[in-house]
Amino acid sequence: MMSQFDLSGRVALVTGANTGIGQGIACALAEAGANIAAVGRSEASRTIEIVQALGRRCVSFNADLSSTAPVQSLVDHIIATFGRIDILVNNAGIIRRADALTFSEEDWDAVLDTNLKTVFFLCQAVAKHMVGWSNQYGPRGKIINIASMLTFQGGIRVPSYTASKSGIGGLTKLMANEWAEKGINVNAIAPGYIATSNTAALREDATRNRQILDRIPERRWGLPTDIGGAAVFLASPAADYVQGHILAVDGGWLAR
């Protein structure tokens, strides 16, 4: 049974792998056997240490994903380094908070560009590579997008973030529809409230922190390691027939 979750020899491109949820995912994939291409603006030093201690290879690739400019050269560089990309995890993302009445165009564009536009074109570049070798009888390509509770709900004071993560839900389904028969699985993970720098402002606001905890049946913030298992599942042969799914890992938030 464990072999269904075995990622030995697979190569995973994880964006934003230096910290937070991306680090949790990269380390879990490595624990299951994958080698890691860690992509981001910052060197993924700590992630490299953890992955290497697990006996896997991890290389950090510098790229600013706030525009699509680096996408093709990044994919080419990773393929030249590792020989292939089997798994793509689109985790890098940003959030800007302000009232909808005063929300700026700059904050709209910054979030949509990073969280949605670059994600789509990175999926496209990697999928073009994957369709070259995947078929329904061989190891399938796996794309995992990081969605959010705001893929399902409206949120408050985060209009561009909500638009981007709602868009991720739709795009995940669209890409699954088009690429399933080409040997690629496209799914998403929707983390609940996870303790990372992305949510530091919420945890520092005692009222918001209490409101959030009161609504989570698990009564705790999630940890990046809580997301790793879901990523291993979706990246593995165990999920070969799972398509266009948005898997909530939320301590029960959506069940309320």
d(CA 8, CA 1): 15
- For residue 222, the 8-state DSSP code is B
Min separation Cβ 56 and ligand NAP, Å: 19
Return the number of the residue (30 or 146) whose C-beta is nearest ligand NAP: 146
CA gap 244, 174 in Å, rounded:
8
Q: Which helix (H) or strand (E) holds 24?
A: helix 20-31
CB nearer ligand NAP, residue 7 or residue 231:
231
Q: Which positions lie near ligand NAP, rule CB under 6 A?
A: 15-16, 18-22, 40-42, 64-66, 91-94, 114, 146, 148, 191, 193-194, 196-199
3-class secondary-structure state, position 221: coil
Taking the complex as a whole, the smallest distance from the CB of residue 18 to ligand NAP amounts, in Å, to 5
Please report, as a single letter, which amino acid is at residue 27.
C
Distance of closest approach, residue 79 Cβ to ligand NAP, in angstroms: 19
From the CB of 135, what's the least distance to ligand NAP, in Å? 31
Structure token pair of residue 202:
């919420």
Cα 169 from Cα 150, distance rounded (Å)? 10
- Considering beta carbons, is residue 24 or 141 the nearer one to ligand NAP? 24
Element (H, E) at 188: strand 184-191
Comparing CB distances to ligand NAP, the nearer of 134 and 162 is 162
125: helix, coil or strand? Answer: helix
- Out of 137, 161, 193, 241, which one is annotated catalytic? 161
- Known active-site residue 161: yes
Residues known to be catalytic: 161
